[in-house]
Amino acid sequence: MWCIRVRAGHRGQGISHALLAGAVDFARGYAAPAIEGYPLDNGGAKADRTAAYVGTRSLFERAGFMKAADTDSVVGGFPRVLMRLDLR
């Protein structure tokens, strides 16, 4: 799961949460052992919406994902982390 895009005017309604939950359900449906994402770790700071298309660490944590590793990638001034949800 590397991109979550919600059109302006529809943000703040929980759509990102539903999209992430749908991706998890889809992966489970195909017996995937895990699903991963690479969100930015903004630590609760305001992130530019053009950078937040990758999702935020807190979004993934609320869906049960755990931080698996740091990365060298930076989006919008924030580091990206590898988040993983074990589906076994």
pTM, entire model: 0.91
CB 4 within 8 A of CB 55: yes
Q: What's 29's DSSP letter?
A: H
Residue 8 contacts residue 47 (beta carbons within 8 Å) = no
Q: How many CB atoms lie within 10 A of CB 71?
A: 12
CA distance 11 to 56: 14
| CB proximity list for 67: less than 8 A, separation 6 or greater | 57, 81, 82, 83
**Tens-of-pLDDT digits for all 88 residues of the chain?**
878 888 888 888 989 999 999 999 999 999 999 999 999 999 989 888 777 788 999 999 999 999 999 999 999 899 999 999 999 9
Give the helix/strand (H/E) hosting 84. strand 78-86
